Amino acid sequence: MTLTSPLTLGGFTLPNRFVMAPMTRFRSPGGVPTPEVAEYYRRRAENDVGLIITEGTLIGHPSASHETTVPRMTAGAAEAGWRLVTDAVHTAGGRIAAQLWHLGSERSPVDGLASWTPSTMTLSDIDTIVEAFAESARVAVRAGFDAVEIHAAHGYLLDEFLWPVTNQRTDAFGGTPARRAAFPAAVVGAVRAQLPATMPLIVRFSQFKERDYRARIARSPAGLAALLEPLATAGADVLHASQRRFWEPAFDGSPLNLAGWARRITGLPTITVGSVALDHEISHRERLLTGLDQGEFDLVALGRILLANPAWVRLALSGRSAESHPYEKSHELAYL
């Protein structure tokens, strides 16, 4: 297996193993993607990114975020804007997944719904948010997306339930790992029910948080299994395991990274991500290729290197990645 090996997911086949990771860009005024947004994603598709995952798109509930330039996945103008995006990507021969997002207590100012504080979600709130995710999934299908990803990582709402530090609930949604996974699993099940049978559902999860890089939702493979198995049972088709550095082992005593453990536990295809390419070349290239070849993970996500380098995948696959620009912080302000 190599980076150029095709991979079938649901009803379509990807031409290679590269994925564009979701990266918030603040270019959608009023939550509506513009033609400029469509061109941004089209450039990655025409340059051989196997699967594009959009920046986080906010579900249609007021608590999801205060941001006014982050895109939403809602009916009306936003849906029409996303149709421009998916049409542009498909015309360029690409595939694109919509990432559905609720910030939870990470939104600023911190006054929205959360697992337990500042505004502990009631059972009615949980039902409402599950339906909001389901409605956004319906919009994504109508807008022409090829897949959907649920953001359950990095300390945002669904991850707040998975993480015992933020989940202090004493009801059916807190306590044991299985109970902490119950709300994210309900969201997965509700979204899965809105998608065509052949449309893949991806779930992104992580150990680290934006507020705490040392955080852990699980201290052992058994603890991780107790969280991931309910998500797989509920209907996840692919697991996107976010690490800061993909080459680092997830647990002591094994070289497997987080994506590797997710695959071993659930048997589902996995995406690995985390500083894969920041300085022209692939970091720890042999580790990456060995992981692919041995079936530790199936797909490889790229983030920051694609900000200033829409053609990075095409250049890398042709042995010309040295022609690209090394990542710089200033690239986060670019929109190429």
- The domains of the chain, with CATH numbers, are 7-333 (3.20.20.70)
User: Which residue shows structure tokens 């530790």?
Assistant: 296
Six-digit token string for 179: 């109970």
Residue 99 confidence (pLDDT): 99
What per-residue confidence (pLDDT) applies to 117? Answer: 60
Helix axes 182-192, 221-234, angle to 10 degrees: 30
Task: Kindly report the backbone phi and psi dihedral angles of residue 195, in degrees, each rounded to the nearest multiple of 5, phi listed first.
Answer: -100, 145
262 and 251 Cβ atoms separated by less than 8 Å: no
d(CA 197, CA 226): 26
Q: 57-74 burial by CB neighbour count: b if 16+ within 10 A, else e?
A: bbbbbebbbebeebbbbb
DSSP 8-class letter at 274: S
Q: Sign (positive/negative) of CA torsion 111, 114, 117, 123? A: positive
Helix ranges restricted to H, 113-164: 123-142, 157-162
Tell me how far CA of residue 112 lies from CA of 38, 198, 335, in angstroms: 30, 35, 30
pLDDT of residue 118: 55
- Note the pTM of the prediction, 2 decimals: 0.97
Structure confidence at residue 115 (pLDDT): 75
Could you state, in chain order, the average pLDDT of each consecutive group of 10 residues for the chain (336 residues)? 94 97 98 98 98 98 95 98 98 98 83 70 96 98 98 97 95 96 98 98 97 95 98 98 98 98 98 94 96 98 97 96 93 94
pLDDT at 103: 94
Are 60 and 74 in contact by the 8 Å Cβ rule? The answer is yes
Task: Answer for the pair 29, 78: CB distance below 8 angstroms, yes or no.
Answer: no
